[in-house]
């Protein structure tokens, strides 16, 4: 049997049988910088765990693909739901029982990647909003510096 099929050691990058690093498992070695609800941020990507409606599959957005990040206030015309928002330009991830009009969700982060006709919207809890926004902007800057060097 393929050693990659067995459970992995340490962070998931080494085969149990050989102990060798596997290039196929590189993304599972990512250090998780933030994880709460359906949002996970690592060193090189954002994973929106319940994104595509109605299947609930995840979407991964790599930082080097991000063109722009916007903040929007979630008001009547910018309300969000799972899937397409009222403005028809942003596709929102599912954020559980917390809705746009709840006190915890007054702002949203909209990520434009250029790989989709829709921007991706995420709504971290209000107590984590600034932290998530700063983390996303920092990781974009790191990736841009890598591309320039």
Q: Write the pLDDT tens digit of every residue in 97-137.
A: 555 445 556 788 999 987 778 899 888 888 889 999 999 99
pLDDT at 44: 92
pLDDT at 20: 47
Positions of the chain with pLDDT lower than 70, given as ranges: 1-28, 76-81, 83, 85-87, 96-105
- Residue 95, SS3? coil
90/22 same-domain check: no
Domain count for the chain: 2
Torsion of CA 44, 121, 135, 30, to 10 degrees: -30
pLDDT at 24: 42
DSSP 7: P
10/64 same-domain check: no
| Alpha carbons 47 and 68: distance in angstroms, whole number | 17
Q: Which domain holds residue 6?
A: 1-30
Neighbours of 41 (CB within 10 A): 23
Give Cα separations from 26 to 14, 87, 88, 119, 141 (angstroms): 10, 37, 35, 27, 22
22/48 same-domain check: no
Query: Does the predicted model carry a pTM greater than 0.75?
Result: no
């Amino acid at each position: 049997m393929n050693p990659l099929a067995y459970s992995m050691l340490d962070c998931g990058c080494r085969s149990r049988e050989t102990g060798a690093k596997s290039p196929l498992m590189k993304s599972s070695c990512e250090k998780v910088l933030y994880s709460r609800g359906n949002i996970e941020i690592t060193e090189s990507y954002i994973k929106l765990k319940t994104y595509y409606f109605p299947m609930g599959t995840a979407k991964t957005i790599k930082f080097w693909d991000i063109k722009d990040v916007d903040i929007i206030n979630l008001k009547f015309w910018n309300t969000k739901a799972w899937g397409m928002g009222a403005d028809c330009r942003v596709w929102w991830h599912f954020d559980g029982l917390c809705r746009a009009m709840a006190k915890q969700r007054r702002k949203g982060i909209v990520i434009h990647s250029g790989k989709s006709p829709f921007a991706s919207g995420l709504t971290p809890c209000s107590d984590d909003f600034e932290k998530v926004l700063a983390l996303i902007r920092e990781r974009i800057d790191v990736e841009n510096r890598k591309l320039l060097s």
